[in-house]
Structure 1
């Protein structure tokens, strides 16, 4: 951390009484990460520290709230999201994830780690879900006031600290659930944008599609478009385009007498050799071998 940066956190031993309460806190804190600073900062214990390249899997849950700056979050099932101020993301036991601030902005993060039968029950009943880990919480004042009370209680080492922090955590998770319930309209709009993009790609796959221009025409940033497209389809927009072109190429190889060069041109590949290399890389067969195997009686 650089001089002047905010950094305060605690990790807690857990007693039998804490577990019997049903919800207990493993860690809480905040950090203001300056631009162009190494992330994550050092000093966190094993099991909580991580590197971007390897990511991390926790034994319990955590809630991270970003009050300023921006960055990225990724988790299992190819989920990816851009993080902006007011976003919270949930981390789940046994679920791989990683996140980091953008180098040019840094961010101010606030977090609380938790576990217990109550949290597991929330998960079982789908009040929280790893399928929907990133939420926009439109209650910044309430969230920040809650995190402020958490830090104050920890600094004061108040009696029954675990139970006080458990109450604050339940409050924060209630706000997350409220945000989740308010999302269907936004999700519908997002789905409509991505469906429009997919239709454009399917109709114009053989042309010179520029994904950044497509995002602009749809009225969204390319960063948002790329992340949301991947969340909906499991592939980035450019990768989706390549896979679609290869599907069309396989159909033409099986059903027509067009030459390899003609098929490459008709499916958007300007270079026959690049098309052949990519085809073999993806399918472990050359285009000619695929053609032969796809119609053995011809």
Structure 2
């Protein structure tokens, strides 16, 4: 079921549920030409609880029998479905938010390892079903409960992830690039050409592999990492906004503000003010008043 956009509190929590539900397919889905594969503008997780099939992501193909879950990522082409007439049954979440982006930046959500094998887990299935029941409720706390339930599902899937999955050379290259980027976040740009020369590979190859594997160009990934550091500084310190921008290599404060707005929808000042409102005593007193009114209904 597709959900209406959640309220500002759920959005500020950083994990917004856009759709949730259960689906089934009773026959194989023909593999379309890659240009026709689906691309999302958000994240999704699909949990196969019966049957089995195949999941295609860019150049990779994964078998997904019952008990498998797989993640879909923004702007990465994908195709999936049952492999034979036995069909399959799936549970799914569609979601977005700053926490999801942070999970990706930290490697917990990664296109390099999109499949998790939690098995057919009754507790995980019940948690999913509970979330569907929450989604059908009109209670004032539904949005927050949905975000919390999704967080619990993701935490369980992360716990079940197979750490010892074999790494491809492309995956290792991307990890090396990401590590080099993280050590250069105070610079105005990341020198991918210099990195490629040190590794004795072509710049075009490094850029192409990084985009295919992560879904981001190197410039997009590097800028996103900078913006995440800026978010942390705006939320956790009183540091001057212009100084934050200069420290992260933006130089010009207008360029910093314009870039920050492009990635977050808010200027740095507006972002800090929104957090101040959320964290204020008056805000929580109002929440308490609303909760008391709800309890009396």
TM-score (norm 2): 0.52
Q: 2:141 aligns to what? A: 160
Residue pair 1:52, 1:99 contacting (<8 A) in 2 also: no
Q: 2:43 aligns to what? A: 61
* Greater share of residues in helix: 2
Give me the whole-angstrom Cα distance separating, in 2, the residues matched to 1:10 and 1:111: 11
1:114 paired with 2:95, answer yes
Q: 2:25 aligns to what? A: 33
Structure 1 residue 105: deviation in Å? 1.1
Residue pair 2:66, 2:120 contacting (<8 A) in 1 also: no
Once the two structures are superposed, residues 43-84 of structure 1 have per-residue CA deviations (whole angstroms, 9 ceiling, x without a partner) of: xxxxxxx998711111111110000011110112x1111110
Structure 1 residue 125: deviation in Å? 0.9
1:70 paired with 2:52, answer yes
Structure 1 residue 39: deviation in Å? 8.1
1:96 paired with 2:88, answer no
The 1:103–1:157 alpha-carbon spacing in structure 2 relative to 1, beyond 3 Å, is farther
Once the two structures are superposed, residues 3-52 of structure 1 have per-residue CA deviations (whole angstroms, 9 ceiling, x without a partner) of: xxxxxx2233244333212111111111122246x689xxxxxxxxx998
1:18 paired with 2:14, answer no
Give me the whole-angstrom Cα distance separating, in 1, the residues matched to 2:23 and 2:120: 20
Give me the whole-angstrom Cα distance separating, in 2, the residues matched to 1:59 and 1:136: 25
TM-score (norm 1): 0.52
Give me the whole-angstrom Cα distance separating, in 1, the residues matched to 2:116 and 2:123: 15
Structure 1 residue 102: deviation in Å? 2.2
Residue pair 1:74, 1:97 contacting (<8 A) in 2 also: yes
SS of equivalent residue, structure 2 residue 123: helix
Structure 2 counterparts to residues 145-294 of structure 1, below 5 A? 145-180=126-161, 182-184=162-164, 187=165
Residue pair 1:10, 1:28 contacting (<8 A) in 2 also: yes
Give me the whole-angstrom Cα distance separating, in 2, the residues matched to 1:144 and 1:90: 17
SS of equivalent residue, structure 1 residue 128: coil
The 1:149–1:95 alpha-carbon spacing in structure 2 relative to 1, beyond 3 Å, is same
SS of equivalent residue, structure 1 residue 27: strand
Give me the whole-angstrom Cα distance separating, in 2, the residues matched to 1:117 and 1:10: 20
Once the two structures are superposed, residues 251-277 of structure 1 have per-residue CA deviations (whole angstroms, 9 ceiling, x without a partner) of: xxxxxxxxxxxxxxxxxxxxxxxxxxx
Residue pair 2:49, 2:120 contacting (<8 A) in 1 also: no
1:134 paired with 2:106, answer no
Structure 1 gaps of 5+ residues are: 1-8, 41-49, 192-298
Structure 2 gaps of 5+ residues are: 169-297
For the pair shown, the structure with the greater C-alpha radius of gyration is 1
